Amino acid sequence: MAKSPRAPRPLTHDQIWTALDRLAGRAGLSPSGLARRAGLDPTTFNKSKRVTADGRERWPSTESVSKALAATDSSIDTFVQLIGDSTRSVQSVPLLGFAQAGASGNFDKGGLPAGKGWDEVGLPSVNDEHAYALEISGDQMKPVYRDGDIIVVSPGTPIRRGDRVVVKTTDGEVMVKEMKRRTAKTLELQSLNPNHVDRTLTAAEVEWIARIVWASQ
């Protein structure tokens, strides 16, 4: 007697949202950036919108998914592939706007994400469970990084001369620079924008430093 065909498994809430995160990551966008490009409210795809206040799962509408696909010039077949296992190299990492990076409570003393102000974005895997992403705002880092670019920061990756890094000072200032030289006493940093001066910090002025390992350019 022939076996009955196995019923297909229904799509889950997590699968759909993960596919949207991956779609945004492929385009070098945050979830809010994808929503803006699709002509939707910037918060449409945010993590905070995925579950209601009473704990019910909120699903993206067919219209919003369709607009996201059109905005990234992607087909429904691509979206289905993103739901499956073919993109395991994508890593979900915490995301914060660079302008908020210096605010109190967003990082712990070791430079790892903390607090509740973070979103999430699916981006290429960097093999660091503590990696996080920052969304650039403004043009102060041109021509290297532009408004809307996303950088992935890996606190666990060794830093060498010439690497681009994120540095937080003990005064709360957060900056993106290129490391020129590091000694036991000082840290010499080169500005990415030629109109800005280079910086030299004493070791006592540096709260933490982490390497930038990927950028959506």
- For each of the domains in the chain, give its residue range(s) and CATH number, in order of start: 10-88 (1.10.260.40), 91-217 (2.10.109.10)
CB atoms within 10 A of CB 110: 11
Look at strands 90-97 and 132-135 and give their pairing: parallel
Count Cβ atoms within 10 A of the Cβ of residue 53 and give its class: 0-12 exposed, 13-18 middle, 19 or more buried: exposed
Helices (H), the chain: 13-26, 31-37, 62-71, 76-83
Contacts of 25 (CB under 8 A, 6+ apart): 90, 121, 122, 123, 124
- pLDDT, tens digit, 9 for 90 and up, residues 28-48: 788 888 999 999 998 899 888
pTM for this one?
A: 0.63
Q: What is the structure's pLDDT at 28?
A: 75
CA dihedral over 60, 66, 72, 74, signed as positive or negative: positive
- pLDDT tens sequence across 120-157: 877 766 778 899 999 998 888 988 988 888 899 999 99
Report pLDDT for 87: 44
pLDDT tens-digit series, residues 87-98: 445 677 899 999
Residues 22/142, Cβ–Cβ less than 8 Å: no
